[in-house]
Amino acid sequence: MTDADTLLQLVPKAEGKQSMKDFKSDQEVRWCPGCGDYAVLAAVQGFMPQLGLAKENIVFVSGIGCSSRFPYYMNTYGMHSIHGRAPAIATGLAASRRDLSVWVVTGDGDALSIGGNHLIHALRRNVNLKILLFNNRIYGLTKGQYSPTSEVGKITKSTPMGSLDAPFNPVSLAIGAEATFVARTVDSDRKHLTEVLRQAADHPGTALVEIYQNCNIFNDGAFEVLKDRQQAEEAVIRLEHGKPIRFGADDAKGVVRDRRTGDLRVVTVTPENEAEVLVHDARSASPTTAFALSRLADPNTLHNTPIGVFRSVDRPVYDTLMADQLDAAVEQNGKGDLAALLAGGDTWTVVG
Amino acid sequence: MTSQVSSTAEQADGSVVGEQRKAAGAKDVRRLDRVIIRFAGDSGDGMQLTGDRFTSETASFGNDLSTLPNFPAEIRAPAGTLPGVSSFQLHFADHDILTPGDAPNVLVAMNPAALKANIGDLPRGAEIIVNTDEFTKRAMQKVGYDSSPLEDGSLDGYHLHPVPLTTLTVEALKEFDLTRKEAERSKNMFALGLLSWMYHRPTEGTEKFLRTKFAKKPDIAAANIAAYRAGWNFGETTEDFAVSYEVAPAAKAFPPGVYRNISGNLALSYGLVAAARQADLPLFLGSYPITPASDILHELSRHKNFGVRTFQAEDEIAGIGAALGAAFGGSLAVTTTSGPGVALKSETIGLAVSLELPLLIVDIQRGGPSTGLPTKTEQADLLQAMYGRNGEAPVPVVAPRTPADCFDAALEAARIALAYRTPVFLLSDGYLANGSEPWRIPDPEELPDLRVQFAQGPNHALDDGTEVFWPYKRDPGTLARPWAIPGTPGLEHRIGGIEKQDGTGNISYDPANHDFMVRTRQAKIDGIDVPELEVDDPDGTARLLVLGWGSTYGPVTAAVRRLRNAGESVAQAHLRHLNPFPRNLGAVLGRYDKVMVPEMNLGQLATLVRAKYLVDARSYTQVNGMPFKAEQLATALKEAIDD
């Protein structure tokens, strides 16, 4: 039995058949009309019955930001916490309750700015968490300042002459932080989003899913090139494990390795170079190629943007290791005896 | 050696304090009722270990004792310098004592820096044992001695014992296959042996300790034991040490029971393990290393067979965040830190106030502000614990009074957190954390029952009769909300830091609801059931009340005892609960003409009682990183009495 099977078995299954409706809470959804968050919420609510877990054993934990209102709308256990800290809070919950399926909902500001530290440490520990990072490349709830994923030169209220700082690439960051599962998807592509969620849910350990999400108020159309059918054909690279990385009209383009630098580049596929087209291996032990794939997209135009699962490898899960140590301690020293602990070694007796 | 110790101890029974007589050997034995010893040396000289061992010997002999370790924040400050001096003071007696003592009777100075840094604390006539090998011209110049204090007459008022500790140690270990440097390292054990002889301490404990500590290096264990015995024998044979001393066990000071010596941080750790057992909940600690709190993280990490989960987080915020997550999941959750860490945790404490989940925040206070004095004690986080959050965010505050009391205080903090679903501050400090004293080991069966009930089903009926679960429907008695943990079917609910509607817990920005919720959260804390304040006022004629909190208990009580012995009337009360205050505190304060509040800050409790009870409390303060001295407090109290 794999680690994944073991972990999923710890969470009780739903007794009856579930439907999307079971996962809708009675709270009115308060995002702006047209926000990409609606699509993600619907996809998650639609996907949950496929998981088939008892909904009382599912917990959504979020930080602060538009996307972090998410738990209020899920009819599961949930906590809307404070800015940036959801991965830390979820870590304590997951590490102490292995019978729970714990999901973190966060945004680009929440996860990468104020909460950057917690995110990278959750990833390296490989706590059994599923982190949904809604990336709209802007601060929405505070009304439109640039975010750590905004492109350089972004004109916003706080950067009237353009932003100065280079953005984070969340997928690159996660791979650099020793993440065992890293994926990217797009809010409007329900089918793709659901498939990525399914793989994330199956992954033992921390799964980071970056979801490109449109903020139609402060950064409308940020991902249009990936959504417009005609443009997307040329811009989006769909990664599938075990398949050659090809895209474009008639799969005319492919990703090959530059023999001189080891880097990846996009070429027009010809009968001569077809054999050189890279076959995607998300399960490769080395993160090198996954990282190179994460650097392929042009950060300004978003051309050559890979979506799908970049990396999915098995590594011992923090919560499992912690539980194992508790078991080992009992095995080695017996179950804790409070009276013996308090007495310690050196005592003396006072007789009345 | 051992038989000698026990036989002299037996012979001493019934003799009078100060009486001098000849023991079986040729040397004089003098009986004392109490002694204060200070071991001082370089940070690398092993003074803390030496002090710890002497303490263990003293504890197992049955004296009452109190200790004060004092060391620099640097792990290895430059050798031979004043900032690098590390010391350990131990006060032991044949009766109950309350403090580590004001002024040492004996100073062991391992080098010139140790002498220079500590001589000012010694009364004339005190004994000084110096390691003469370290009194080289260069070492003395380093700390500003132009001439040797051992020879220039500046120590004439003291009883000086010049001992070449290093040479004697190396000589004693010449049979061992050790380099000179390795052999020199055992000089602290030589000093310990000498002092153990001087005060008739039992030796088996230390020898056993050395064998265990160096189990993997039997040669080193044997060398240390040899140095320890050589120190003992040196005292026994040399002319310079003509007298040895006995301090009889403090049998009458203690109620019957089995005792051990315990430090504050260890007692606090055990209190947390015990609280989890008494609550029948798993213990979860989320923590980030910080002096002087890290020992609790270390200790709890050793007890995984009690189901204790310890999580060393990436920072202070994640430490408390993980603890709060575990609390949501039904653990007894704890975070441990010191002042700067509390500052970082503030926002999460506010969230815990809003979520109304049980959580213990253990603050081992140290000198501040900012990094301040990491290894020194202070009580200046009281107002931070009370008010250091945005919004109206009341948090109960509990403070232990002695090292051993940290055990009971931890149980009490857990009781409040669990029963009222609230974060609770446990305010210890560096003095309590590292200091130690005898502790009567409790029987687990006599510990309080801390069990609480998780919510199991719906708790509210809607108008149409539908049964629902309302996460913020309160217990009318305690105002605590139900603790419904994930995994409980039918109770799925969402909680968060946004203001909640009373009852349902749904997001609410309604002005009247916010007003109600703020007042209700405050009322819940104000209504916490805490024991009444006890006042010690033996003759009932005192006009001055001294009101303390936390670790000032020892020095304040010692000062009060001195004054009463001198015929003065003074009343004493000591607060364990700083929030809420005991219900009778206002009445108690009103009964006295004068109230004095001694604190190791600039008057934080005084500020609170002045504001709440309109009492003209006098503040007596000290912030030098050290506990009060009893004499100094007695003088201040006498002035207040006479004023």
3-state secondary structure B544-612: EEEEEEHHHHHHHHHHHHHHHHCCCCCEEEEECEEECCCCCHHHHHHCCCEEEEEECCCCHHHHHHHHH
- Let me know if residue B94 belongs to a domain: yes
Percent of chain B whose predicted confidence (pLDDT) is above 70: 96
Residues of A in contact with B330 (CB under 8 A): 96-97
CA distance A319 to B220: 40
B130 close to B115: Cβ distance less than 8 angstroms: yes
- Let me know if residue B249 belongs to a domain: no
Question: Where on the phi/psi map is residue A250: left (φ > 0), alpha (ψ -120 to 50), or beta?
Answer: left
Chain A closest-CA separation from residue B251 CA (Å):
6
Q: Are residues B45 and B120 in the same domain?
A: yes
Task: Tell me what pLDDT residue B13 has.
Answer: 31
Nearest CA in chain B to A53: B487
Nearest to A93 among B313, B326, B350 (CB): B326
Preceding amide of A170 cis, omega within 30: no
Nearest to A96 among B329, B441, B493 (CB): B329
- Let me know if residue A135 belongs to a domain: yes
Q: Given B529, B551, B576, which residue is the final one in a domain?
A: B529
Task: Tell me what pLDDT residue B2 has.
Answer: 31
Q: Are residues B497 and B540 in the same domain?
A: no
Please answer yes or no on whether B307 and A336 come within 8 Å at the CB atom.
yes
Identify the bridge partners of residue B596 per DSSP, sorted by sequence position: B546, B618
Asked whether residue B537 carries a pLDDT value surpassing 60, the answer given is yes
Task: Tell me what pLDDT residue B288 has.
Answer: 98
Average per-residue pLDDT for chain B: 94
Residues of B in contact with A342 (CB under 8 A): 270, 274, 441-442, 444
φ/ψ (deg, to 5) at B574:
-130, 125
Chain A closest-CA separation from residue B266 CA (Å):
10
Chain A closest-CA separation from residue B378 CA (Å):
28
For the stretch B28-48, what's the b/e string if a residue is b when 16 or more beta carbons lie within 10 angstroms of its beta carbon? ebebbebbbbbbbbbbebbbb
Please answer yes or no on whether A56 and B498 come within 8 Å at the CB atom.
no
Q: Which domain holds residue A165?
A: 3-222+317-333
Asked whether residue B520 carries a pLDDT value surpassing 50, the answer given is yes
Average per-residue pLDDT for chain A: 95
Chain B closest-CA separation from residue A101 CA (Å):
10
Q: Are residues B427 and B571 in the same domain?
A: no
Residues of A in contact with B486 (CB under 8 A): 56-59, 77, 93, 97, 100
Query: What pTM did the predictor assign?
Result: 0.94
ipTM of the complex: 0.97
Nearest CA in chain B to A29: B507
Number of domains in chain B: 4
Chain B closest-CA separation from residue A237 CA (Å):
35
- Let me know if residue A114 belongs to a domain: yes
- Let me know if residue B381 belongs to a domain: yes
- Let me know if residue B254 belongs to a domain: no
Please answer yes or no on whether B321 and A88 come within 8 Å at the CB atom.
yes
Q: Which domain holds residue B499?
A: 453-529
Residues of A in contact with B327 (CB under 8 A): 92
> Confidence class of residue B335 from pLDDT cuts 50, 70 and 90?
very high
Residue A328: which CATH number?
3.40.50.970
Percent of chain B whose predicted confidence (pLDDT) is above 90: 92
CA distance B436 to B433: 8
Task: Tell me what pLDDT residue B251 has.
Answer: 82
A-B CB pairs within 8 A amount to 208
Q: Are residues B290 and B402 in the same domain?
A: yes
Number of domains in chain A: 1
Please answer yes or no on whether B443 and A55 come within 8 Å at the CB atom.
no
> Confidence class of residue B25 from pLDDT cuts 50, 70 and 90?
low
Name which of B4-18, B86-100, B277-291 the model is least confident about.
Answer: B4-18
Q: Given B444, B475, B491, which residue is the final one in a domain?
A: B444
Tell me how many degrees the CA angle A160-A165-A170 measures, rounded to the nearest 5: 120
Residue B212: which CATH number?
3.40.920.10
Asked whether residue B528 carries a pLDDT value surpassing 60, the answer given is yes
> Confidence class of residue B253 from pLDDT cuts 50, 70 and 90?
confident
> Confidence class of residue A250 from pLDDT cuts 50, 70 and 90?
very high
Asked whether residue B22 carries a pLDDT value surpassing 60, the answer given is no
**3-class SS string, B169-219:** HHHHCCCCCCCHHHHHCCHHHHHHHHHHHHCCCCCHHHHHHHHHHCCCCHH
Q: Indicate the DSSP class of residue A280.
A: P
> Confidence class of residue A6 from pLDDT cuts 50, 70 and 90?
low
Residue B547: which CATH number?
3.40.50.920
Helix and strand numbers (H, E) in chain A are 12, 12
pLDDT tens-digit readout, A79-120:
999 999 999 999 999 999 999 999 999 999 999 999 999 999
In a mutational test of the B interface, the residue from A22, A45, A74, A342 whose CB has the highest number of chain B CBs within 10 Å is A342
- Let me know if residue B524 belongs to a domain: yes
Give me the residues of A, 143-182, that contact B with CB < 8 A: none
B219 close to B177: Cβ distance less than 8 angstroms: yes
Q: What is the mean pLDDT of residues B379-388?
A: 98
Other C-beta atoms lying within 10 Å of the C-beta of residue B154: 13
A320 touches chain B (CB under 8 A): no
Identify the bridge partners of residue A58 per DSSP, sorted by sequence position: A101
- What are the Cα distances from residue B415, in Å, to B154, B310, B325, B411, B539? 57, 21, 19, 6, 35
